[in-house]
Amino acid sequence: MATIEDVAKRAGVAASTVSYVLSGKRSISPATRSRVEQAVAELGYHPHAGARALASSRTDVLALVVPLRLDADASLRGDVDVNVIMQFVAGVLPRARALGYDVLLLTDDDPTALGRVSAGSSADALIVMDVESEDARLPGVARSRTPAILIGMPADPHGLSCVDFDFEGAGRLAVRHLAELGHRRVALVGPPPVVLERHTSYADRMLHGLRTQSHTAGVEFRLTLTTARRDSVAAALAEALDGPTPATALVVHNEAALPAVLDVLRDRSLRVPEDLSLVVVCPPNIAEQQVVPLTSIEIPAQSIGGAAVDMAVATLRGELEPQTRLVRATLTDRGSTAAPRG
């Protein structure tokens, strides 16, 4: 097992410098800090939690609020996609470890969890996921003495720093790409209705981007919402594709429903992209692993999780003022879009 002396030797610094980098007690130059952090990551060094707590008032723990919402019977609610959530978590954990922090996972079905963490000083900082446009948690988080980073973009961040994907830009990009191919009727296969009812920030911004760009491009835009259940997906696609003026392209922003979307299209004898163009908004591995490779606007979930950790640590070091960071939307063409037939 690596020791602090091993890290110091690898980084070419004194052991005390390693300690200062990990604790944040002293200002260290960015170049030196980078060498130490790289050595920590390469050696897999993990400071002893008890020793850290005795040495300072800090715990070297980050509390991550994960949106694993539960129903009354303790089952996951239908609007929770664990696969996507865990990609954000997979970005948080290694970056925190590399910077010398452990991660405490909290689920937000317990409304008292955030208060207990702040009052009990059991974490140095909070990372709060799945932030809604009007999020009831934020006033309490802002009032606490524990610094917090939000993954999401609320209407009022209450002076807290935020990091998120540019979902509005993603919506604009999807419509722009399809309009350039000649599509004039586009439908969104969106999240379950409860997501929009809660005014979850990402869904509101995605929808706003789709609508505004559709208006600009002269595209008829339709909204269909669905759960991951096949019957729900079939009903949503019927709404988008049946009738005298069916959509010629779909934008799918519901990772859990995506396999059912492809199944229903196959049952309807619709080929992608010959009969129907398809753009998905999701992490890249999800787009790549479908039965048909899908053109996607990729949500870099792991990068966003890692960025939230960097912002939390920078805040603890006094190096970051409250700010909002949005990761720009980019499109990867995997051949599932083409000009509409006729």
HEC-encoded secondary structure of the chain:
CCCHHHHHHHHCCCHHHHHHHHHCCCCCCHHHHHHHHHHHHHHCCCCCHHHHHHHCCCCCEEEEEECCCECCCCCECCCCCHHHHHHHHHHHHHHHHHCCCEEEEEECCCCCHHHHHHHHCCCCEEEECCCECCCCCHHHHHHCCCCEEEECCCCCCCCCEEEEECHHHHHHHHHHHHHHCCCCEEEEEECCHHHHHCCEHHHHHHHHHHHHHHHHHCCEEEEEECCCCHHHHHHHHHHHHCCCCCCCEEEECCHHHHHHHHHHHHHCCCCCCCCCEEEEEECHHHHHCCCCCCEEEECCHHHHHHHHHHHHHHHHCCCCCCCEEEECCCEECCCCCCCCCC
pLDDT at position 114: 64
| 68: nearest Cα among 113, 124, 10, 108 | 108
The class (CATH top level) of 1-45 is: mainly alpha
CA–CA distance, 49 with 101 (Å, rounded to integer): 9
Q: What superfamily in CATH does domain 167-299 come from?
A: Response regulator (3.40.50.2300)
CA–CA distance, 295 with 287 (Å, rounded to integer): 7
CA–CA distance, 13 with 264 (Å, rounded to integer): 60
pLDDT at position 50: 45
Phi, psi at 142, each rounded to 5°: -65, -35
Q: What is the pLDDT along the chain (342 residues), one digit of tens a residue?
A: 677 888 889 999 887 788 778 766 567 888 888 898 898 888 888 765 544 444 456 778 999 988 775 544 444 455 566 777 888 999 999 999 988 899 988 876 555 666 666 655 678 999 998 888 888 888 888 888 788 999 999 988 888 999 999 999 999 999 999 999 999 999 999 999 988 888 888 899 999 999 999 999 999 999 999 999 999 999 999 999 998 999 999 999 999 999 999 999 999 999 999 999 999 999 888 898 888 889 999 999 999 999 999 999 999 888 888 999 999 999 999 999 999 986
CA–CA distance, 270 with 262 (Å, rounded to integer): 9
What are the tokens at 272? 């992608």
Phi, psi at 209, each rounded to 5°: -65, -40
Where are the chain's structural domains? 1-45, 167-299
Partner residues linked to 164 by β-bridges:
326
pLDDT at position 5: 82
pLDDT at position 223: 96
pLDDT at position 41: 85
In the block, tokens 């949503």 appear at 236
Predicted structure pTM score: 0.76
